[in-house]
Chain A
Amino acid sequence: GQQVMQIPQYQHVQEGEDFTTYCNSSTTLSNIQWYKQRPGGHPVFLIQLVKSGEVKKQKRLTFQFGEAKKNSSLHITATQTTDVGTYFCAAIKAAGNKLTFGGGTRVLVKP
């Protein structure tokens, strides 16, 4: 079945630094979504990417969909303690209809 791989699994970041988390698939994707789950909470939708090469920004967060629509990245600049949580990507493969989640990147911020 379709697998969506996220790397790294864990990310320890110094406050103020930048980091990137990646989401990779072996098959072409129809779209990709990103979610954030704060400790003790439930996943909350952040953004969706649909077009090849698409780039979207939300304040300090930059989301990118690869040209081949097989991978995506989330880049966070000037990390803050409020960025702590687990970031999940979720994707629907081309001609599919079920959303599949990656394993998540757990982000810890060192003040």
Chain B
Amino acid sequence: GAGVSQSPSNKVTEKGKDVELRCDPISGHTALYWYRQSLGQGLEFLIYFQGNSAPDKSGLPSDRFSAERTGGSVSTLTIQRTQQEDSAVYLCASSYSSYNSPLHFGNGTRLTVT
């Protein structure tokens, strides 16, 4: 079956431009997470969606970052006025529920801001 799909796989953008990263979770998964991972580093939590509940945005590093999840399925992470320090791999993961369910990760979007 289809796994978590992220697009684009690679994105190179100029400093100051806006970018949109897309995540298609596994069908039926109610929980969706976005993480950021810099080279050789751990997983930095960004935002968490669970069903129809208000998202947990506590990990978003600045107001340049926003995310939405339409119809409880596809999610888009938007970064406005990109900075060089935004360069990283952005990983999306989904799970069947918020409790006791393993996360399934996509292959990530590698963002490079020049």
Q: Is the CB of A42 within 8 A of B56?
A: no
Closest residue of B by beta carbon distance from A103: B42
| Cβ of A11 under 8 Å from chain B | no
| Cβ of A72 under 8 Å from chain B | no
| Cβ of A78 under 8 Å from chain B | no
Q: Is the CB of A101 within 8 A of B106?
A: no
Closest residue of A by beta carbon distance from B48: A98
Count of residues in B whose CB is under 8 Å from the partner chain: 23
Q: Is the CB of B105 within 8 A of A44?
A: yes
> Assuming A42-B106, A43-B105, A44-B105, is B98 touching A97 (CB within 8 A)?
yes
Tell me which of A42, A48, A102, A106 contacts B105 (CB under 8 A): A42
Interface residues of B in 83-114 (CB under 8 A from A): 91, 93, 95, 98-100, 102-108
Q: How far is the CA of A50 from the CA of B101 in the complex (A)?
A: 11
Q: Is the CB of B103 within 8 A of A104?
A: no
| Cβ of A99 under 8 Å from chain B | yes
Q: How far is the CA of A86 from the CA of B56 in the complex (A)?
A: 26
Q: How far is the CA of A90 from the CA of B105 in the complex (A)?
A: 14
Nearest-neighbour CB distance to chain B for A24, whole angstroms, equals 15
Task: Return chain B residues, CB-CB under 8 Å to A86.
Answer: 42
Q: How far is the CA of A62 from the CA of B69 in the complex (A)?
A: 37
Q: Is the CB of A31 within 8 A of B100?
A: yes
